[in-house]
Amino acid sequence: MQITAAELFAARLPLVHEFETSSHRKTYLEHILVRVTGADGAVGWGEIASPSGPYYCAETVQSCWHVAEQYLLPAVLGTGWSHPREVAALWSKVRGNEFAKAGVDLACWDLWATATGTPLARALGGTRDRVVAGVSLGIEPTPEDLVAQVARQIEAGYPRVKLKIAPGWDVEPVRAVRAAFPDLDLHVDANGAYTEDPDHLAALRGLDDFGLTMVEQPFAPRDLLAHARLRRVLRTPVCLDESVADLHDLRTALALDAVAILNIKVSRMGGLTAAVAAHDLAREHDVPVWCGGMHEFGIGRAANVALSSLPGFTLPSDVSASEKYYARDVVRPPVTADRGLVDVPWKQAGSGHQVDEEFVREISSRTARVSAG
Ligand code: OSB
Ligand code: MG
């Protein structure tokens, strides 16, 4: 395969329900969509699902645009490759910038899968026909509002709910949700907002009585030692998200016993090739994994569904239906869920979803073209 041209779109979609985490609140998302064209005219699409500001990780929409346009696409354009697994080697000199890499990696997988007539799930080594979806709920004004949000999602059929927590918004809202739904598969995600200060540790210990499936990323991304220490005092399994940006991080976390469960995000790990490798390594170590989300539009969402069909993804993934986030998505059909189950497209080549190009152009504030040579 050879990519001869690429186009970037900064596309914006309003969120159906605003979302607040320990760091900030958002009402819309702007993701960079990557369209690549092969020498034979085939087209592949990827999505750079970076948040706008540098709160989840160091990347931003602006930094991703710069890195994709100036470094990643020029490294790929005009160079021959036979399988998308080879593509990451072309930009091996570029440090970090995993979200930007993930969008280009995804476009290459999509191009290859489409051109070879391979369903993306099969190309990745998937085995499941359907994947179980969970929902992630942001911080709400009051515990009562949160309970109402949880009730809506349970009514829609989702079997697992994750709640965002932050110091000051932890034990009380979780107690309220647990009291209302005693048997719900429930977990919490702190996005690194806690430290080992005594009052923070007391709050984390306070969460230990609610039968949570996991506590996700309580401490700062690079503080693997704190996560390892917490595992020794909590019954609740500790899940890592932000701490694992590549396989080296995962190996270190495993060696330190800092990880009981791994959230694998395609974006955070620099693409599908790395995500599959993380899945394989976690599986060798009997660490259960699930696929985390970044409020992806349909392109990234479809890739998450395909990835979640791999055998090690034994916990529900953040792959809820497009309609939970967006009134209209950039793909047709949108990703749908039926009682919390999402079908994996096994019949069509590629992701199984068509990009609505006209709509993408309509919602894009900025575009760029990069060509070989
Ligand atoms: O930590 O998993 C996270 C969204 C934005 C940034 C970080 C995270 C999230 C989510 C949403 O939890 C998951 C989703 O539904 O896509
Ligand atoms: Mg998380």
| Proportion of the chain above pLDDT 70, given as a percent | 100
The first and second tokens of residue 313, run together, are 């993804």
Q: Which atom of ligand 1 is nearest to the CA of 217?
A: 1
Work out the end-to-end distance of the chain between its first and last CA atoms, rounded to an integer number of angstroms: 16
For residues 192-199, average pLDDT: 98
Q: Any alpha helices (H) in 285-365, and if so which ranges?
A: 298-308, 357-362
The single residue of 162, 164, 324, 347 carrying the catalytic annotation is 164
Q: How far is the CA of 219 from the centre of ligand 1 (A)?
A: 16
- Counting beta carbons within 10 angstroms of the beta carbon of residue 197, is it exposed (0 to 12), middle (13 to 18) or buried (19 or more)? exposed
Amino acid in position 57? C
324 in active site: no
Q: If you ran DSSP here, which 8-state letter would residue 322 be given?
A: G
| pLDDT value at 13 more than 80 | yes
| pLDDT value at 372 more than 90 | no
d(CA 242, CA 268): 7
Positive/negative CA dihedral, 22, 30, 157, 239: negative
Give per-residue pLDDT as tens, 260-283: 999 999 999 999 999 999 999 999
How does residue 258 score in pLDDT terms, banded at 50, 70 and 90?
very high
Residues 6+ positions from 107 with CB-CB distance below 8 Å: 6, 34, 35, 36, 44, 45, 46
Give per-residue pLDDT as tens, 239-254: 999 999 999 999 999 9
Is the full-model pTM beyond 0.80? yes
- Please tell me whether the peptide bond between 173 and the residue prior to it is cis, using omega within 30 degrees of 0: no
- The pLDDT score that the predictor gives to residue 22 is 83
- The pLDDT score that the predictor gives to residue 26 is 93
| pLDDT value at 106 more than 90 | yes
C-alpha dihedral, 59 to 65 to 70 to 76, nearest 10°: 90
For residues 45-55, average pLDDT: 97
Q: What does pLDDT average to over the chain?
A: 97
The ipTM assigned to this model is 0.97
The first and second tokens of residue 110, run together, are 């999509």
| Proportion of the chain above pLDDT 90, given as a percent | 97
How does residue 90 score in pLDDT terms, banded at 50, 70 and 90?
very high
Amino acid in position 106? L
- The pLDDT score that the predictor gives to residue 23 is 85
Distances (CA, A) of 44 to 37, 113, 115, 363: 7, 9, 9, 19
| pLDDT value at 305 more than 80 | yes
Residues having CB within 6 Å of any atom of ligand 1: 56, 136, 189, 191, 241, 292-295, 318, 320
Q: How far is the CA of 188 from the centre of ligand 1 (A)?
A: 11
Q: Helices 247-255 and 224-233: crossing angle, nearest 10°?
A: 40
The residue whose CB lies within 8 Å of the most ligand 1 atoms, and thus the one to mutate among 136, 261, 267, is: 136
For residue 239, the ligand closest to its alpha carbon is: 2
Question: Please, where in the chain does CATH 3.20.20.120 lie?
Answer: 122-343
Residue 334, classed as helix, strand or coil, is coil
For residue 240, the ligand closest to its alpha carbon is: 2
- 9 phi-psi bin (left φ>0, alpha ψ -120 to 50, beta other): beta
Q: Helices 272-284 and 298-308: crossing angle, nearest 10°?
A: 30
Q: Whose CA is nearest to atom 8 of ligand 1?
A: 294
Give per-residue pLDDT as tens, 217-239: 999 999 999 999 999 999 999 99
C-alpha dihedral, 152 to 153 to 155 to 158, nearest 10°: 180
Residue with tokens 């829609």: 156
Give per-residue pLDDT as tens, 127-136: 999 999 999 9
Distances (CA, A) of 260 to 21, 195, 210, 228, 290: 23, 19, 18, 10, 12
Total Cβ atoms within 10 A of residue 222: 12
CATH architecture for segment(s) 122-343:
Alpha-Beta Barrel (3.20)
Q: Whose CA is nearest to atom 6 of ligand 1?
A: 294
Q: Which atom of ligand 1 is nearest to the CA of 320?
A: 15
Residue 245, classed as helix, strand or coil, is coil
Taking ligand 2, which is a single-atom ion, which protein residues have CB atoms under 5 Å away? 189, 216, 241
| pLDDT value at 373 more than 80 | no
| CATH number assigned to the domain covering 3-117+358-371 | 3.30.390.10
Q: How far is the CA of 295 from the centre of ligand 1 (A)?
A: 6
> Angle 296-297-301 (CA atoms, 0-180°, nearest 5)?
60
Contact between 180 and 150 under an 8 Å Cβ cutoff? The reply is: yes
The first and second tokens of residue 243, run together, are 């701490």
Contact between 289 and 300 under an 8 Å Cβ cutoff? The reply is: no
Give per-residue pLDDT as tens, 15-38: 999 999 888 899 999 999 999 999
For residue 216, the ligand closest to its alpha carbon is: 2
- The pLDDT score that the predictor gives to residue 21 is 87
Q: How far is the CA of 88 from the centre of ligand 2 (A)?
A: 24
d(CA 22, CA 135): 17
- The pLDDT score that the predictor gives to residue 317 is 96
Distances (CA, A) of 177 to 150, 153, 291: 8, 12, 23
The first and second tokens of residue 121, run together, are 């799930």
162 in active site: no
Helix, strand, coil content of the chain in percent (nearest 5): 35, 25, 40
Question: Please, where in the chain does CATH 3.30.390.10 lie?
Answer: 3-117+358-371
- The pLDDT score that the predictor gives to residue 330 is 98
d(CA 265, CA 151): 27
Largest separation between any pair of C-alpha atoms in the chain: 62
Positive/negative CA dihedral, 194, 196, 202, 205: positive
